[in-house]
Chain A
Amino acid sequence: MSDRTPDERERVRRAITINRSPEDVAAFWRRHAQDAPGDDALVRFIPAPGGRGTEVHLERSYTRPGRIAAVIAAFRHELPDQKLFDELFAFKQILETGDIVLSDAWVNGSSSRHPAQPDAQASQAATAQSRTNTSEIGGSAA
């Protein structure tokens, strides 16, 4: 979801539910957010109804790309709302599973997608990344 701020920036909003307590989610967010770009992030943690964990509502503002740049960014999965989804999805994955799951095709991220077959070159870098993800939250999963 998106709209415009008074200074003509694009404001995008997205929410995700994480199967962890609001305290766990907020504590991890505070630690994680220290490294995150974009000081204008607005985040809220709301207990999900029925004891279903925590709703994370995230809002960020961006300078709107031009039309052509937006088309290219959409094709490369780099529009602000797409990035926001990726950010929340990674956050959920790390908190719930301890890692960001890598598929064979997307092991190097969306910019270097290839067929769904193993990638010998990418494996070691990916393993190192996996180690970092897990250690960041102390290896604990939901």
Chain B
Amino acid sequence: MKANCWMGKKHVEVVDVPEPRILNKRDAILRVTSTAICGSDLHLYNGFMPTMEKGDVLGHEFMGEVMEVGPDVKNLKVGDRVVVPFTIACGNCAPCQAGMTSLCENSNPNAWMAEKMLGHSASGAFGYSHLTGGFAGGQAELVRVPFADVGAFKVPNDLSDEQVLFLSDIFPTGYMGAEMCDIKPGDVIAVWGAGPVGLFAAASAFLLGAERVIVIDRLPYRLEMARKNVGAETINYEEADVHETLMEMTGGRGPDSAIDAVGMEAHSANHLLYAMDRAKQAIRMESDRPLALREAILACKNGGTVSVIGVYGGLIDAFPMGALMNRSLRIMTGQCHVHRYMQPLLEHIMAGRIDPTFVITHRLPLADAAKGYDMFLNKRDNCEKVVLKAS
């Protein structure tokens, strides 16, 4: 079968690989119909995530049709149309039973490796390095889904792939980012990053009752999407000082909650700060550039919440712990517990309260995955979200 493989830094290639088979009794095999390139795939593409190997099949946002099920999968049948969460969860361990499926204790065969880097392991994930298990991803014609009885989520046939595909990651991730803010009527929420996750976080903040949402980015077409499709106010950080503008927009209080939807590869209008973080990254003094996170912490109102859904992989430098402690800020974070959001967010889609297709700017065949990665990384042709049609 054809699959999009990581071949090295800034090099992906669609090549022939063996077809997957059932390996565990709770597996299913899917024929992938649609898959997407995630902003976090760019961290792999740019070589920022350790433990990648040449030939790894990428992709953690995908959906498709069930082709085969293992003997212990009783709730799926051949032909079912399903969306699959990017995290893999057993449903049996204590975190899974508490609804924290991205912390599944059984789904990462490389838990020992993750423990060394993170202290404890989180769950396994599709197509996202060997640190998260070495599972082949869904940017392929076929994919094996472990614990399919828990993960594969059946979707109605009257909804298109594009309406439900993002239940796999970016819509729940954005929603969880907003939910962690514990939004109350009248709240003003600031979101750093107008990528797809940032836009879903902004849209979700409105769904959860925010009065105003302010989105911060540097790309005019993304900010236009935030205004037009989400109804957010915007700040272009290359044109205005973010802190001063936020203080002005919020009567000097700062936003009630600040969502970091940027993560480890942040940019900044402050070229000196940006250069310092790039240099620290280059000499391995830090693995991630926390420019947006620092800004979010400093801007958030006293006693407010900083919600971190942008991906971080390792260590950061110059973290404003003093601001966090002295100003009674609360940090909420985590990889999304996708499983618990799929049904409620599907209901939002079916009720017409949100149409997730608004983030899609490009549709390409799987064979053009390399073009999609390059376009997405370099923001060519106003690229916001690339959907790959696998079959």
Excluding A103-B124, A106-B109, 18 further A-B contacts by CB distance (< 8 Å) are A85-B112, A89-B111, A97-B93, A101-B24, A101-B124, A102-B109, A102-B146, A104-B134, A104-B144, A105-B53, A105-B133, A113-B134, A116-B53, A116-B134, A118-B17, A118-B136, A120-B19, A120-B21
Contacts of A130 in B (CB 8 A): 23-25
B61 contacts chain A at the CB level, 8 A cutoff: no
Residues of A contacting B: mostly: loop
Inter-subunit contact B111/A142 (CB<8 Å): no
Inter-subunit contact A117/B25 (CB<8 Å): no
Partner of A19, one of B5, B20, B25, B92: B92
Counting from the closest, the 4 A-B pairs by CB-CB distance are: A105-B134, A115-B55, A120-B18, A123-B21
Q: How far is the CB of B259 from chain A (nearest CB, A)?
A: 31
Known: A89-B112, A103-B133. A96 touches B93 (CB 8 A): yes
Contacts of A114 in B (CB 8 A): 53, 55
Contacts of A124 in B (CB 8 A): 21
One digit per residue, 1 when the CB lies within 8 angstroms of any chain B CB and 0 when it does not, for chain A 83-125 equals 0011001001100111111111111000001111111100110
In the bound complex, CA of A53 to CA of B105 (Å) = 14
Partner of B106, one of A86, A97, A115, A117: A97
Inter-subunit contact A116/B136 (CB<8 Å): yes
B57 contacts chain A at the CB level, 8 A cutoff: yes
In the bound complex, CA of A130 to CA of B144 (Å) = 15
Inter-subunit contact B135/A116 (CB<8 Å): yes
Known: A77-B112, A89-B112. A115 touches B56 (CB 8 A): yes
Inter-subunit contact A119/B106 (CB<8 Å): no
Contacts of A5 in B (CB 8 A): none
B110 contacts chain A at the CB level, 8 A cutoff: yes
In the bound complex, CA of A120 to CA of B136 (Å) = 13
Inter-subunit contact A86/B25 (CB<8 Å): no
A141 contacts chain B at the CB level, 8 A cutoff: yes
Partner of B57, one of A17, A86, A92, A117: A117
In the bound complex, CA of A105 to CA of B3 (Å) = 15
Residues of B contacting A: mostly: loop
Q: Which B residues contact A (CB, under 8 angstroms)?
A: 3, 5, 17-26, 53-57, 72, 88, 90, 92-94, 97, 105-107, 109-112, 124, 127, 130, 133-137, 144, 146-147
* Chain A residue total in the interface (Cβ 8 A): 41
A82 contacts chain B at the CB level, 8 A cutoff: yes
Closest to B3 in A: A117
Inter-subunit contact B97/A101 (CB<8 Å): no
In the bound complex, CA of A101 to CA of B181 (Å) = 35
User: Quick one: which of A82, A105, A117, A126 has the most chain B CB within 10 A?
Assistant: A117
In the bound complex, CA of A126 to CA of B133 (Å) = 16
One digit per residue, 1 when the CB lies within 8 angstroms of any chain B CB and 0 when it does not, for chain A 40-64 equals 0000000000001100000000000
In the bound complex, CA of A114 to CA of B135 (Å) = 11
A127 contacts chain B at the CB level, 8 A cutoff: yes
Known: A19-B94, A86-B112, A105-B130. A97 touches B19 (CB 8 A): no
In the bound complex, CA of A134 to CA of B71 (Å) = 11
In the bound complex, CA of A43 to CA of B245 (Å) = 61
In the bound complex, CA of A106 to CA of B124 (Å) = 13
Contacts of A142 in B (CB 8 A): 92-93
Inter-subunit contact B23/A107 (CB<8 Å): yes
| 26 A–B pairs (Cβ distance < 8 Å), ordered by A | A17-B94, A77-B112, A82-B112, A86-B112, A92-B93, A96-B90, A96-B106, A97-B90, A99-B26, A101-B90, A101-B146, A102-B109, A103-B124, A104-B134, A105-B134, A113-B130, A114-B55, A116-B127, A117-B3, A117-B5, A118-B136, A124-B21, A127-B23, A130-B24, A131-B25, A142-B92
Closest to A125 in B: B23
Inter-subunit contact B109/A117 (CB<8 Å): no
Contacts of A118 in B (CB 8 A): 17-21, 136, 144
Contacts of A105 in B (CB 8 A): 53, 56, 130, 133-136
In the bound complex, CA of A142 to CA of B93 (Å) = 8
User: Quick one: which of B88, B135, B137 has the most chain A CB within 10 A?
Assistant: B135
Contacts of A19 in B (CB 8 A): 92-94, 97
Partner of B94, one of A53, A89, A101, A139: A53
Contacts of A103 in B (CB 8 A): 109-110, 124, 133-135, 146
Contacts of B127 in A (CB 8 A): 116
Q: How far is the CB of A85 from chain B (nearest CB, A)?
A: 5
Contacts of A93 in B (CB 8 A): 106
Contacts of B147 in A (CB 8 A): 97, 101
Contacts of A127 in B (CB 8 A): 21-23
Known: A92-B105, A115-B54. A97 touches B110 (CB 8 A): no
Closest to B57 in A: A117
Partner of B134, one of A52, A106, A131, A134: A106
Inter-subunit contact A101/B134 (CB<8 Å): no
Closest to A106 in B: B109
